[in-house]
Amino acid sequence: MGLKGKDLLGIRELETDEIGLILDTAESLKEVSSRDIKKVPALRGKTVVNLFFEPSTRTRTSFELAAKRLSADLLNISVATSSVVKGETLFDTAKNLEAMMADIIVVRHSSSGAPDRLARRLKSSVINAGDGSHEHPTQALTDLYTIRERKGGLSGLIVTMVGDIAHSRVARSNIYALVKMGADVRVAGPPTMIPAGIDKLGVRVYYDLDEALSGADVVMMLRLQLERQGKALFPSIREYSRLYGLNKERLRFAKKDALVMHPGPVNRGVEITSDLADGASSVIMEQVTNGIAVRMAVIYLLSAGRA
């Protein structure tokens, strides 16, 4: 079996067995990165394009390494500002790439829905590498992989997500993914950062962090976009950190072997203290390593579907 769609746009559209397949495939591909020669010929002759409309280092690099370790040809295109400025639409840009016979287009865009709209128009496979506040499916799959590897499974785990849920694509993708895999998902943050109707996605909402952490198996901290202070979403970094920042004392409310995760980049001392980010509970660097294997799996499976 393979993936049902030609694209990976979000976790919302994925079925449970597809998520399982991606994680299993990632597991068998992870070993490639630890070899002396970190390459398999699986995708020789295929072209993968990283089309980034928003600056990104780690996601772009992760996709780049993933494609290269599968022997695909890779092209990086960064569009600093929307190409609309040049009078060219998103579709024009993508159609050009398709005309150059790109097999897979990896899209990062600040507008929610941009990869979705592209995918409807293109024959190439589209992978969403993060769109606005919508989804970041490969990050959620990476997080799932990391949790599964450490905890042996996902079903029944209590996962607490903390921070700006409203503006987080990582949160949305993780909520869909974890709920589908049977985890008990909690979200915590100030009410200004909890989006309307989020409970309908099957999560429980907490405004008190200690309560939200109680008995948690996994604590996922989200990056605070500092500029949102000016938009009346929180009064100060000091108060945010005091109410929703994770530190050693707070972590005691969670299970003893709780994992601490963060999609990066970390605002040290804001959403999480440095000692925790670098501490024994932290799997932040494992997330980075696993991200490559998961992205290899996604590229591989979409490419196999096209053959």
Partner 1 sequence: MGILIKGGYLIDGKAKRGEVYDILIEGGKITSIGKDLSPGPDCEHLIDAARKVVIPGLIDMHTHAREPGYEYKENIKSVSEAAAAGGFTTICAMPNTKPVNDNRTVTEFIRSRAREAGIVTLLPIGAITKGSQGVELAEIGELYDAGCLAISDDGRPVMNSEVMRRGMEYARGFDMLVISHCEDANLSLGGVMNEGIISTRLGLHGIPPAAEEVMVARDILLAEYTGCRLHLAHISTAGSVRIIREAKSRGIAVTAETAPHYFTLTEEAVEGYDTNAKVNPPLRTSLDMAAVREGLKDGTIDLIATDHAPHALEEKELEFDQAPFGISGLETALSLTLGLVEDGIFSLDEAILRLTINPARVLGIDKGYLAVGADADIAIIDLDDRWVVDPARFRSKGKNSPFAGWKVKGSVFMTLAGGRIVFSR
93, amino acid identity: T
112 lies in the binding site for partner 1 (CB under 8 A): yes
Q: Given the rule CB under 8 A, which of 43-51, 97-105, 111-119, 144-152 is the region that contacts partner 1?
A: 111-119
Give 82 or 214: the residue with its C-beta nearer to partner 1: 82
Give 13 or 286: the residue with its C-beta nearer to partner 1: 13
Q: Determine the Cα–Cα distance for residues 87 and 161; give it in Å rounded to an integer.
A: 40
28 lies in the binding site for partner 1 (CB under 8 A): no
Q: Given the rule CB under 8 A, which of 23-31, 112-120, 212-220, 243-251 is the region that contacts partner 1?
A: 112-120
Judging by beta carbons within 10 Å of its beta carbon (0-12, 13-18, 19+), is residue 208 exposed, middle or buried? exposed
Quick one: which of 64, 135, 143, 184 contacts partner 1 (CB under 8 A)?
135
Kind plus residue range of the DSSP H or E element containing 210: helix 209-213
Give 19 or 171: the residue with its C-beta nearer to partner 1: 171
Closest approach of Cβ 57 to partner 1, in Å? 22
Q: Determine the Cα–Cα distance for residues 153 and 223; give it in Å rounded to an integer.
A: 26
Quick one: which of 46, 117, 223, 295 contacts partner 1 (CB under 8 A)?
117
DSSP string, 122-154: -SSEEEEEEETTTB-HHHHHHHHHHHHHHHS--
Question: Which residues, numbered 169-198, are part of the site for partner 1 (CB under 8 A)?
Answer: 169, 172, 195-198
89 lies in the binding site for partner 1 (CB under 8 A): yes
- Please report how the helices 137-151 and 169-180 are oriented relative to each other, as an axis angle in degrees rounded to 10: 50
243 lies in the binding site for partner 1 (CB under 8 A): no
78 lies in the binding site for partner 1 (CB under 8 A): no
End-to-end CA distance of the chain: 13
Q: Determine the Cα–Cα distance for residues 3 and 130; give it in Å rounded to an integer.
A: 19
Q: Determine the Cα–Cα distance for residues 27 and 270; give it in Å rounded to an integer.
A: 33
132 lies in the binding site for partner 1 (CB under 8 A): yes
Give 177 or 254: the residue with its C-beta nearer to partner 1: 177
Q: Determine the Cα–Cα distance for residues 286 and 126; give it in Å rounded to an integer.
A: 26
12 lies in the binding site for partner 1 (CB under 8 A): yes
Does residue 102 sit in helix, strand or coil?
coil
Cα-only R_g, the chain: 19
Q: Determine the Cα–Cα distance for residues 301 and 49; give it in Å rounded to an integer.
A: 16
Closest approach of Cβ 194 to partner 1, in Å? 9
200 lies in the binding site for partner 1 (CB under 8 A): yes
Q: Given the rule CB under 8 A, which of 99-107, 137-145, 166-174, 213-221 is the region that contacts partner 1?
A: 166-174
Enumerate binding residues for partner 1 (CB under 8 A): 12, 82, 84, 89-91, 109, 111-114, 116-117, 120, 131-135, 166, 169, 172, 195-198, 200-201
